[in-house]
Amino acid sequence: MKNPWRFFLVVEALLLLYALWQIFNSPPLFMLLIFGTLCLYFASRAQRRGQRTNFRLVVGCLAVFISLLNNPAVWLMLVFGVLFIGLKGVELTGIDPTKNAFWKKKQIIIVETEAPGLHPTKKERQNLFGNERIGNQVFEWDDININMISGDTIIDLGNTILPKKDNIIMVRKGFGRTRILVPVGIGIALEHSGFIGNMAFIGEQTPLRSEKITVYSEDYDTSERRIKILSSTLMGDVEVIRV
């Protein structure tokens, strides 16, 4: 599926149905779950009347907890959730757990370049929904133009080499967050318009309400390599970070 979160919800829903089927086909677990639910229900009613409900609350929680933990499908739901959210969180944040590993301390990355030639015609299909990250691996720079209806976007310029000229990033988005990571030594110009959201530029945050703002880094006029970011968002935040 193009949207990984939709895949996550579908799998979790199927596992939930499997868990309910297992509970209904196991009379002891089903009776324990019903008993725990009733204890929690009567505890909540007694609490509204101002009565002490510690014993029934503890017994109800334990009964529900034990009935669920004895169901293999519930464990599958937990394991799949932890793995998916963990891996997806690493992808969105751009954190590399092996960045400081000993085998990467003397790693050499060679970027292959080609002599300038004629610019070929390019046609690419863009996803209108979903999260996107540009710059996970070393890549050859080309001006970026992103058009989306909804989704979060991360653009990491640390894995490319910008030409000694003005380079362009254009982002037009309906809903979602945009984060752009720019290495030190590159001049930055940001022109952003937003209906509802915040703009964070090298640590300085500005709320926008149907407004347009243009900001420059201090080294923009003196830098050989510069990046110009043109962004417009209906609802969402835009963040430019030095790395």
Domain boundaries, the chain: 4-93, 133-242
What is the average per-residue pLDDT within 85-106? 57
pLDDT digits 0-9 by tens, 152-169: 889 888 888 888 888 899
Give the 3-state DSSP-derived string for 166-200, with helices as H, strands as E and coil as C: EEEEEEEEEECCEEEEECCCCEEEEEEEEEEEEEE
Cα separation, 141 vs 116, whole angstroms:
13
Q: Residue 102 is encoded by which pair of tokens? A: 């000993």
pLDDT digits 0-9 by tens, 108-163: 655 555 555 556 666 667 777 778 888 888 888 888 888 888 888 898 888 888 88
Cα separation, 152 vs 177, whole angstroms:
5
Identify residue 96 by its one-letter amino acid code: D
pTM of the entire structure? 0.52
